[in-house]
Each structure stands twice: as C-alpha cells, then as structure tokens.
Chains A and B, each alone.
Chain A
C-alpha cells in the first residue's frame, strides 16, 4: 500500500468529514496504452506498448509479467469462445503502420496452452494517407456476433474495419470506414441499442503536462455517425468528456471496458502521470457509470468520514444505541429576536460514547441526524487486499476502531475493535447508476457473495445483490 493512502489511527480520530485520497492501482502498475483488461483462469491481464504487460491476482495489485510478442504499440484484447484475440500495431516508418491480430487460448505465460498463433495483418496505412494505423480497438457486437476493429491516431482519421470472429482476419472485401478525426486510442462499445466510440483527445506523452482525456460519441449503427451530446459528429471533432485529469493523476487515455456483472462495470485507462508514483504512466481502473445513456467515469470511494445512506428510503446506517438528545429544547417560539446569535455545538463522540455498550453493537438504518453513531470512517484496508479496481475497505465509527462486520448468520453488526478479519473488510463498488454496492469480503462459514441490503426501511441485512432494487444500493455523503 502506498504511504500516501495510509491513515493512522490518530489521523482517523481527527478526521471528520474528510475526503482523502485513493490510489490508482497498487504494486508496480506501470504501463502505457493498456489493452482492455482480460480475465483468464482467475487472473487479470492487460497488455501495453512495447510488448509485455501487467498481471494481477486480484485486480487491485498489478505487476509486470504478461507476455505479448510482436512489440509495437497500443494493443487491445477480446475473448471470443476459447480464444483471446490480441491486436497491436507496428510502425514501418513515419505514419506508415500496420495493425496485426493474433490469438492464444490462455494468457497465462506459464500454461502449456500459452502461445500466440495465426498473426495476420488486418489494416495498414501507407504513411501518406489521412490515417496512421495504430491504436487498434476491438468490438465484438453482442447483437450479431460481428467483430470490428477501429484504429488510428491524430494523423487523419479513426477508421473501422470488420474482422472474421472465427479467425481474426479481415473480412474479405471489407472497406475501411472513417468514423472520427483528431483523436486516438479509440475503442468501441455497445450498450442498450447504442454503439459508443470512446477516444482520447489532448496531448500524449508529456508526463504531468499531458492533456490527454477520454471523450465519447454514440451512434445507432456501428459504422456511425458517432455524435456527441451536442449532436456534433466525431468526424468534426465532437466528443463528450468521460474522464480528464483528477486529483494526483494526469492525462487519462486508452479507454477499456470490463463488465463485472449487471450494474457493476469498470473502465481501464492509463494515466500519463501519477504524481504519487514518480509521475510515471500507470494503469487506472475506475467504476464506469452510465448517465442518461452516456458513459461517465466514476470514482473509487476516497477515504473519509461519511453518512452511509440507503437508496431505499434515504435513511442511514447507524449503531443500535440509545439516542442521546442534544442540550436545549424548543428553540423557535417566544424567543427574543434581538438576543445575540451564537453557534450551538454539534454533538461529539465524547458526549455519547460512554452510553454505548462496549461489546458488539447491532446496526440498523435510521433518519440521519449527524450524530456520532451515524458517522463512519472508511479507509482502505491495511493489508492492501483488493478486487478489480479497488481496495477492500475498513469501515469504523468515526473516532473509534468499532468496525462494521458480517456475521455467520448473514447479518451485520459492529465489533469493538477492527482486527483485519476478512468479515470486517468491505468491497465497495460504484454502480453504473452512481450509487454503491457494499459487500463483505466474506460471510463467515459461507461461500455466498452477499451484499449489504436494506431489508426494511430501518433494517439492514446481508443478501444477494439485485441491481434492479434500491434495497441493494447505498450512497456515501460527506457532510
């Protein structure tokens, strides 16, 4: 875990309504132009420019080790049947370039089944035409099984060609189509009747001064026209922002999409510069949101102190403790309008903690009153464990080590001290609608994947996640 995201107990005690940092990824996630992330035999892979790539056991800690022959630049990947197809580009001089496709049955270089086969050129540019055939991106159209590949950079057009999904070869007689200009690192996606062209604008390869950003247009047809939210064709430079620089990471580019399950999607990219990692180009994985039919980069929950609000009614997660009244009563009637105005102090932890039991305390959901038993400090777990795109989190009552935990009977309680036990670690995924799913890393004595659910307005439990139910969704409010 990076020192920058560690939070000491003292800091935690002092942090009230604090939003902190969140790492891009941990390990040595150094890469440029990452391909779409692939999952193979329980591991995650992404390939980058120059050959090779990154491997992750859990999707959070990434290190080098992936193997891709051919060198060249900016690969992409797609799984079709039992094959992983990889595309990449090789320059042959100036803006003359070639896009190649090859396949392997496994991405694990240690497997006897590993080995790329049938490399074939699917597109090229002659160095003079208005295209530089690099930066390929696949789309396997889920509506009809057709395979497409877009490619190109700032030197002219982004183009689209059709490939044979059985071989990866260019469909005979297929003609390239111009679908965008003045962008690069394009990728195509399909969702709910729309084809999306995600591409990178701005300046590449200038470290912290890179202005790379990811934009999108959409079309009802894979061949375009791809229009942005203002109706501008990407052939005239149109594009709606998906992700730009934020916090300590600069220049995101090379979009990739990973669908975890219904309602849980991730986007991958590289940051031209992660200021917490020597300003190097690093892998980024973020929640992918869809708002009004447009993809938007979400954000991993930053460490901080939050109200945890149920999407069901808007009530908030709280300890089952006696409600402690604040001093004073009715303040509105019969008062002298000219009395001096002074603030009324908030209720503090010290005002109430002695009224709480010292052992396990149950959890319920109640109307939020900004009281200490409703404030949760959330930090990445100290063991650096994680899942695709995020760390497991420790969730404690602010100013204490009282930790939220799953029980063997699939309920939720708090324990007086955080121990790092897996039932005290929580996976927090921002969902495609912007709300969050909260899941314990494990439910003791169970192999079920359960999530924190509002079974009643005021009652939480652990149950199967349902993207179509507000019972399964939560919001984090920093007040």
Chain B
C-alpha cells in the first residue's frame, strides 16, 4: 500500500486531506529517533541541510557528495511517475528552462526565471548521505510534488583520475552530466537506492569538474545520492567539493 493507493483509499472513505499545513518536523535523522515526533511550528530545511560552508569538504565516509547548489523546484506537473520513460525524461532534461542551464556555474543566492517562476539557487550541505529534495522544497515553502530540481556541484580532483564512475540513486527519475557530458540517466518510477545506476568509465580531470543533475518527480518524496567509484568499486574520497 503506497501513498498513492492510500490516498485513493482515504478518498473512498471520505477522509479529506488535512494536516499538510505549515508544520514541519524537527527530529534528528539516523537509525535512532524519537516517536512521537514533535510537530514544529516553522518550516525549515533543518535538520536535513545546513548552509554550505567555505571550508574544505570531502565526501562522506562512503564517498557521497553532500555539498550542492540546489535550485528551487521548477513546476513540472505529473500526477504519476509512470510517465518517466527514457524518451520523456531525456526531453524533459534537455529542455532549457533558464539561460546558461548547461554551461553556467550558478552562484549562491542567484535567481533565475523559469516561466512565471522566479527561483533561487541555494548552496547547501546535506546532513545525510542523500540529498532530500522533498525536504528542501518543503522547508522553503515550495511545491513538493510535480517538480523538477536542478543540482550542481564542483568536484576538485588533486590529479587526473581515469576510469572512475559516477554512481547515482534518485527518487524519481534523474539525469546527470560531468563537465558537460552526459554521464548517467535513471528512468522510470524510481526509488532512491545507492549505486542504482552507474556511469560508464569517466575521467575526473585535475582541478575543477562540474557535476550537473536534474531530478524529476510527480507525487512522493524526491531525493538523490551521488558518489564516484574507482576501478575496484571503492568510493573515491580524495576529492574536495565546493560550489564555486
């Protein structure tokens, strides 16, 4: 029984959606948590994100990249995620929504206009291995369903690294580029699983490498996780992550 089915069921028994108002939660994530969870009174992206710092940041112990520039969600209505075929998402992700979408490294606080929406780039660090886009949108009072997110980060490599792979999990479909080249695409109604889809062998050049990603979702929680794997399948950790 998933959320969609449950919602239908609730509709049948005439229970109207309530309680999705202005409250958010405020409990620590991780294996242990308290229950019942206290309702908070102010929406916030905490504790899922902190503002990105300027200090050196490496991937976490498993190699996941936690520092990202995230654009507030683009309105992309989809009542179901079953439409996310390869051709659909390739078209959705190669559409230009804002100038410089595939070329410019956005700046923290920069605004872009997408249709009638004025959206802001946020420089954030996820407190989890994954980037919870649903919480990002919810905490900022933005729409959470029927959304398309853009994410950008900069990987600084101390040397050229050949034959690495970008490993991605996302909810729902997503597409990822390294230095302007398509790296990996995740089609379908996906749940986020670490290392779900892995790119062909790539080269991280010495110095700056730009990762761009786009995640699309209809109903449900949106999130992603990204890391690089070396030739032995081990996480690449001797890189640093910045947003400039």
Chain A residues packing against B (C-beta within 8 Å): 32-33, 49-50, 71, 73-74, 91-97, 123-132, 134-135, 153-156, 159, 161, 175-179, 181-185, 201-206, 209, 211, 223-225, 232, 235-239, 254
Minimum C-beta distance from B5 to chain A (A): 4
Minimum C-beta distance from B236 to chain A (A): 17
Interface string of B18-47 (1 = CB under 8 A from A): 111001110101111111110110000000
Q: B1-27: which residues lie under 8 A (CB-CB) from chain A?
A: 1-6, 8-10, 13, 15-20, 23-25, 27
Minimum-distance CB pairs A-B, first 9: A237-B193, A176-B35, A93-B18, A182-B191, A205-B5, A204-B2, A129-B37, A129-B25, A127-B19
Minimum C-beta distance from B19 to chain A (A): 4
A236 touches B35 (CB 8 A): no
Minimum C-beta distance from B197 to chain A (A): 12
Any A CB within 8 A of the CB of B230: no
Residues of chain B lying within 8 A (CB to CB) of residue A223: 31
B32 touches A130 (CB 8 A): no
24 contacts between A and B (CB under 8 A): A32-B1, A71-B13, A94-B19, A96-B19, A124-B36, A126-B36, A129-B27, A132-B3, A153-B6, A159-B33, A175-B35, A178-B30, A179-B31, A202-B191, A203-B82, A204-B2, A205-B2, A205-B5, A206-B80, A211-B189, A223-B31, A235-B31, A237-B191, A239-B193
Bound CA span A83–B171, Å: 41
Chain B residues packing against A (C-beta within 8 Å): 1-6, 8-10, 13, 15-20, 23-25, 27, 29-37, 39-40, 80-82, 129-130, 169, 171, 188-189, 191-196, 220-221, 225
A154 touches B220 (CB 8 A): yes
Bound CA span A205–B219, Å: 14
Bound CA span A223–B27, Å: 19
Residues of chain A lying within 8 A (CB to CB) of residue B37: 125-126, 128-129, 131
Bound CA span A183–B193, Å: 10
Contacts A126-B36, A206-B82; is A153 near B18 (CB within 8 Å)?
no
Bound CA span A73–B82, Å: 23
Contacts A73-B1, A132-B3, A135-B1; is A92 near B33 (CB within 8 Å)?
no
Minimum C-beta distance from A36 to chain B (A): 15
Minimum C-beta distance from B216 to chain A (A): 15
A154 touches B191 (CB 8 A): yes
A161 touches B1 (CB 8 A): no
Residue in B35, B189, B191, B194 whose beta carbon sits within 8 Å of that of A183 in the complex: B191
B19 touches A93 (CB 8 A): yes
Residue in A155, A202, A235 whose beta carbon sits within 8 Å of that of B221 in the complex: A155
B192 touches A130 (CB 8 A): no
Residue in B2, B8, B39, B221 with the greatest tally of chain A CB atoms within 10 Å: B2
Residues of chain B lying within 8 A (CB to CB) of residue A184: 1-2
Bound CA span A232–B129, Å: 13
Bound CA span A132–B36, Å: 12
Residue in A93, A97, A178 whose beta carbon sits within 8 Å of that of B32 in the complex: A178
Residues of chain B lying within 8 A (CB to CB) of residue A177: 31-33
Residues of chain A lying within 8 A (CB to CB) of residue B29: 130, 178
A155 touches B31 (CB 8 A): no
Bound CA span A141–B130, Å: 32
Bound CA span A389–B15, Å: 36
Contacts A203-B81, A203-B82; is A126 near B6 (CB within 8 Å)?
no
Minimum C-beta distance from B85 to chain A (A): 12
Residues of chain B lying within 8 A (CB to CB) of residue A183: 191
Contacts A127-B20, A129-B37; is A204 near B4 (CB within 8 Å)?
yes
B171 touches A182 (CB 8 A): yes
Minimum C-beta distance from A210 to chain B (A): 9
Residue in A179, A209, A235, A238 with the greatest tally of chain B CB atoms within 10 Å: A235
Residues of chain A lying within 8 A (CB to CB) of residue B2: 153-154, 184, 203-205
Residues of chain B lying within 8 A (CB to CB) of residue A129: 25, 27, 37
Residues of chain A lying within 8 A (CB to CB) of residue B32: 175, 177-178
A237 touches B39 (CB 8 A): no
Q: Which residue of B lies closest to A49 (CB)?
A: B1
Residues of chain B lying within 8 A (CB to CB) of residue A95: 3, 20
Q: Which residue of B lies closest to A176 (CB)?
A: B35
Given contacts A128-B37, A182-B191, A201-B191, 15 further A-B contacts (CB under 8 A): A73-B5, A91-B9, A93-B10, A93-B16, A93-B20, A96-B18, A130-B29, A153-B3, A156-B221, A175-B33, A176-B33, A177-B31, A205-B2, A232-B193, A237-B192
Bound CA span A153–B1, Å: 8
A182 touches B193 (CB 8 A): yes
Bound CA span A223–B19, Å: 30
Residue in A50, A128, A159, A237 whose beta carbon sits within 8 Å of that of B194 in the complex: A237
